[in-house]
Chain A
Amino acid sequence: MVEFLQFTLSGISFGMIYAAIALSLVLIWRGTRLLNFAQGGMAMFTTYIGIEVIYHTGSYWAGFVCALAAGVVLGTVAQLAVIRPAQGKPELNAVIITIGLLVLLEGLAGIFYGGQFRSFPAAFSVTGLHVGSTALGISRFDVFVAAAVLVTTLLLAVGFRYTTAGLRMRAAAFNATVARLSGIRVARVITVGWALAGLLGALAGVLVSPSTFLYPNSMDTIFVFGFTAAVIGGLDSPLGAVIGGLLLGVALSYAGGYLGSQVTALVALGILVVVLMIRPAGIFSGAQVRQV
């Protein structure tokens, strides 16, 4: 029973990281129908920037902030330089272009930062928390992870709901034609979407790297888990991304805990296939589709 609680809590913590990646994928997918296969690579690269800042300044938070800022910049630059020129081309081209971006980032990371595994500091203590004498299976850092993603998600949700910029983004995502006819510069909105996605990816990167170590391919698995979470929730649904992330995180935590940590990727594959066969549009897209 205690084990179950531990797995649940740590699953929630990891799940929030998958949720962050899933959310970044959803942000880009809505309105552009493009799946950014480079999202993990972008997160990895910005985490490297973060750790360089930490080494040179000695301050974790300086690195944290720089990583997030780098995420915004990288997202914007990638969209303007690589993705926008690809608009209007067949879908296959766009997928391969994001793969090309992924490969480029991994190569650059190897060139600038080397290929060896680097450890990334955690913001807070990673020793397990206890309630009385029961180990909870999570640490202060895990709580920070969940809180950070939750707060960021809420800020985004509030921003989307209540600001004019948010309205522009939602309008462009739901119906780009009407949005443009209303005078909304949809191209700019898309770039902002990429910038926000870059931010979320960077956040996921710094939050997960203490557990996985940092190396050019370290975000590959996290990316596919994030993708799976997004598919579970529905690629169109930001709320779905978060819930999908939590569900996946918890499920994989149980699998890893009870069956051994080597099976998590295989279990995730199974979940992905099952979801795509039963409910390919995701859990939360039904509502939206019905409302037209």
Chain B
Amino acid sequence: MSSPGAASLVVEDLVAGYGEVRALNDVTITASAASITAVLGANGAGKTTLLRAISGMVRPRSGRILLDGADRAGRSPEDMARAGIAHVPEGQGVIPELTVEENLRLGTMSWPGMARRRSDRGAALAEAYERFPVLADRRRKLAGTLSGGERQMLVIARALIARPRVLLLDEPSLGLAPKVMRQVMDTVVRLSKESGITVVLVEQNARAALAIADHGVVLNLGRVVATADAKSLAADVALRHHYLGF
């Protein structure tokens, strides 16, 4: 587990893309420690690429990614994970061929060697089962048998076991029924406040995201077009219409 306490995440002038395409153009975002930041925008705005650049899946062309002040841009995903960044990609996250418990154990893989004692592992799993009783019931079942909402729970539970300092969530509510989606969002908020994790949340459902976020950033075509606290963004009707569709 990484050192306790959330970290601030600052992305400075990030340029990243795929081949010829520049998906992110000089993007600067600040997520203060233990806050929830919503990253919003239409499809293709670059939200997913942003998270991928932060977690190391995509190598940025230029710019800095500061975790508590230390630049980590260009590191591999494994290194980012071990530095305390947990990324839950869109639609992925659960390995269906593994059991629920095995998926949870993946969360311990980013712990520094010293901490990975059996007792610590057991304690972390027990904690997760307490928080998410649904998972406790299914612990030996293959993750592929879980419903959509249950999988999201599993994914978040696993991410939390990793004791991350920053949690990147990419469309956690995708494909979920509204009631389940609310549950997921509530869980995110609760855990962020309880465990003091910095959360960066990418969501199509801007309304729901802004309802739980402290701060919001709007991307359009790879650039930041608005950054403000969540309430102001939600109140800005013109902005909402133009970039967020509601």
Contacts of B97 in A (CB 8 A): 170, 174, 288, 291
Residue of A nearest to B161 (CB): A182
With known contacts A184-B78, A291-B97, A292-B144, A179–B106 Cβ distance under 8 A: yes
- Measured CA separation A82–B133 after assembly (Å): 48
The verdict on A90 contacting chain B, using a C-beta distance below 8 Å, is: no
Q: Is the CB of A184 within 8 A of B106?
A: yes
Q: Is the CB of A170 within 8 A of B98?
A: yes
Contacts of B144 in A (CB 8 A): 291-292
With known contacts A164-B105, A288-B97, A183–B92 Cβ distance under 8 A: no
Residue of A nearest to B121 (CB): A164
The verdict on A171 contacting chain B, using a C-beta distance below 8 Å, is: yes
- Measured CA separation A183–B92 after assembly (Å): 16
Contacts of B110 in A (CB 8 A): 182-183
Q: Is the CB of A174 within 8 A of B81?
A: no
Question: What secondary structure prevails in chain B residues at the interface with A?
Answer: mixed
- Measured CA separation A209–B107 after assembly (Å): 45
With known contacts A171-B98, A174-B95, A288-B97, A180–B142 Cβ distance under 8 A: no
Q: Is the CB of B78 within 8 A of A180?
A: yes
Interface residues of B in 136-182 (CB under 8 A from A): 142, 144, 158, 162
With known contacts A177-B89, A292-B144, A183–B96 Cβ distance under 8 A: no
Contact with A along B56-86 (1 / 0, CB 8 A): 0100000000000000000011100110001
Contact with B along A17-30 (1 / 0, CB 8 A): 00000000000000
- Measured CA separation A171–B144 after assembly (Å): 14
Contacts of A171 in B (CB 8 A): 95, 98, 102, 106
Contacts of B105 in A (CB 8 A): 164, 167
CB distance from A161 to the nearest CB of B (A): 10
Q: How many residues of B contact A (CB 8 A)?
A: 29
With known contacts A177-B57, A291-B142, A292-B144, A182–B162 Cβ distance under 8 A: yes
The verdict on B93 contacting chain A, using a C-beta distance below 8 Å, is: yes
The verdict on B215 contacting chain A, using a C-beta distance below 8 Å, is: no
The verdict on A178 contacting chain B, using a C-beta distance below 8 Å, is: yes
Q: Is the CB of A181 within 8 A of B102?
A: no
Other-chain residue from A179, A181, A185 in contact with B89 (beta carbon distance below 8 A)? A181
Contacts of B162 in A (CB 8 A): 182-183
Question: What secondary structure prevails in chain A residues at the interface with B?
Answer: helix
Contacts of B78 in A (CB 8 A): 180, 183-186
The verdict on B109 contacting chain A, using a C-beta distance below 8 Å, is: yes
The verdict on A116 contacting chain B, using a C-beta distance below 8 Å, is: no
The verdict on B87 contacting chain A, using a C-beta distance below 8 Å, is: yes
Other-chain residue from B55, B111, B116 in contact with A181 (beta carbon distance below 8 A)? B55
Interface residues of A in 158-200 (CB under 8 A from B): 164, 167-168, 170-171, 174-175, 177-186
Other-chain residue from B76, B81, B96, B142 in contact with A182 (beta carbon distance below 8 A)? B81
Contacts of B111 in A (CB 8 A): 183
Q: Is the CB of B92 within 8 A of A175?
A: yes
Residue of A nearest to B155 (CB): A178
Contacts of B158 in A (CB 8 A): 182
Other-chain residue from A164, A175, A180, A288 in contact with B95 (beta carbon distance below 8 A)? A175
Interface residues of B in 174-226 (CB under 8 A from A): none
Q: Is the CB of B82 within 8 A of A178?
A: no
With known contacts A164-B105, A167-B105, A291-B144, A181–B95 Cβ distance under 8 A: no
Contacts of A184 in B (CB 8 A): 78, 106, 109
Residue of A nearest to B118 (CB): A164
Contact with B along A124-164 (1 / 0, CB 8 A): 00000000000000000000000000000000000000001
Contacts of A182 in B (CB 8 A): 81, 106-107, 109-110, 158, 162
- Measured CA separation A115–B104 after assembly (Å): 54
Contacts of B102 in A (CB 8 A): 167, 170-171
Residue of A nearest to B93 (CB): A178
Contacts of A174 in B (CB 8 A): 95-98
CB distance from A167 to the nearest CB of B (A): 6
Beyond the given pairs A181-B87, A183-B110, 18 more chain A to chain B contacts, judged by CB atoms under 8 angstroms and listed by A's residue number, are A167-B105, A171-B102, A174-B97, A175-B92, A177-B77, A177-B89, A178-B94, A180-B76, A180-B78, A180-B81, A181-B77, A182-B107, A182-B109, A182-B158, A183-B109, A183-B162, A184-B109, A291-B97
- By a beta-carbon cutoff of 8 Å, the part of chain A in contact with chain B is 164, 167-168, 170-171, 174-175, 177-186, 288, 291-292
The 8 A-B residue pairs with the shortest CB-CB distance in the complex, in nearest-first order: A183-B110, A183-B81, A180-B77, A182-B106, A183-B109, A182-B109, A291-B144, A174-B97
17 A-B residue pairings within 8 Å (CB atoms): A167-B105, A171-B95, A171-B98, A171-B102, A174-B96, A175-B92, A175-B95, A178-B89, A178-B92, A178-B95, A179-B109, A182-B81, A182-B158, A183-B78, A183-B109, A291-B96, A291-B144
- By a beta-carbon cutoff of 8 Å, the part of chain B in contact with chain A is 55, 57, 76-78, 81-82, 86-87, 89, 92-98, 102, 105-107, 109-111, 116, 142, 144, 158, 162
